[in-house]
Each structure stands twice: as C-alpha cells, then as structure tokens.
Amino acid sequence: MPKPLTVDHNKLWKILKEMGIPDHLTCLLRNLYAGQEATVRTGHGTTDWFRIRKGVHQGCILSPYLFNLYAEYIMRNAGLEEAQAGIKIAGKNINNLRYADDTTLMAESEEELKSLLMKVKEERGKVGLKLNIQKTKIMASGPITSWEIDGETVEIVSDFIFWGSKITADDDCSHEIKRHLLLERKVMTNLDSIL
C-alpha cells in the first residue's frame, strides 16, 4: 500500500499535457500556482519566506482532481491495466484500488505482487516520488516470506483499513460487521442523550 509524497509542479504541467488537458487550462493552473511563497510560524519565531514548488493547494476544489491525474499517469505508465497480475472480481482483472493518496496493489502470487510494486516504484521515481517503505505494508491470505525492497524490510500485516473498512487476510468480515454495529450503537446512544 504505497503512499505518494508531494506533487512537483513542473512535472505536473508535463503530465497534464500528456494526459490531454488543453493548454489554456494548464496555463490557468500555472498562473494560479506561480510565485507562491510561504512562511512558517514556530515556537521560536517565524521563518524566512520561501518559494513553494511542490504540492497542491490545500482546500482547493481542483487539488484532488490534479492529484488523481498525477496518480493516474503513474499507474498508466506502470502498465497496470495491461498486466496479467491481479485478482478476478466479476470476471474482470483488478490489480489496484486507489483513493486519494492510498493505493492498494493486489495479485494472486507473491511474485506477481512484487512485479506490480516494482513497476509502480519505477514510474513514481520518474515523476519524483519515492516509495516510502515505512508506509508500505504487505498482506497475504497465505503464508508469506519476509519482503525487502532495495534492502529495506516491508512490514507484513494481517489486516488494514481501506475506504473505512477493515480488510483481513483471512477474508473474515465478521469483525467488520461487529465494528459497524458498535459504531451504530454509539451513534444511537449519543442521539438518545440529545433527544
């Protein structure tokens, strides 16, 4: 489950062009992002002003869209749509799920998963995003050996939260049902105290 770092503005403009965004819209975005400066207030005072060359505007309605285009570009160039690796869901091969800055890669075998991960890692590197091994986790439904990427050990987990739901290696959804029932009970108790 790799997590991206920060969108590089110069690379973003190139990606928008390659993704077919019209030049006049990219020009508007360039103007919106041009000459950005910031300062940081700390307990010891305020820093000097510095130029902002990375990231999307916090709170801007365009930011999720821009980030998604950046992420889509990486996945397309990694060739995940053409890859045979993945799991079959309703007859369709699925090898990745994405939401905002969370990505989940899926495969039937350890070798396929490593192949997908290395393709994504390579494409991320081309646009200036380093794979953060500390935020990367591996989950398998069967036994798995230890995983290393570039000499760093990847944590193996038995569950993770995706889109607010707990996914477990044993495919047991009873934990998730109980969790939702407890959350519902808590909400109802809070509503009772208000009414």
Domain ranges of the chain: 9-157, 163-195
pLDDT of residue 110: 81
Burial environment of residue 20 by CB neighbours within 10 A (0 to 12, 13 to 18, 19 or more): exposed
As a whole number of angstroms, the distance between CA 85 and CA 114 comes to 10
Give tens-digit pLDDT for 27-76. Answer: 999 998 888 888 899 999 999 998 888 888 888 888 888 888 888 898 89
pTM: 0.69
Give tens-digit pLDDT for 68-100. Answer: 888 889 889 988 877 778 888 788 888 888 877
pLDDT of residue 149: 82
Give first-to-last CA distance, the chain, whole Å: 42
Angle at 178 between CA 172 and CA 180, to 5 degrees: 110
Q: Among candidates 127, 124, 126, 91, which has minimal Cα distance to 105?
A: 124
Question: At 82, which amino acid appears?
Answer: E
Give the total residue count for the chain.
195
pLDDT of residue 2: 40
Pull the structure tokens for residue 9: 């503005």
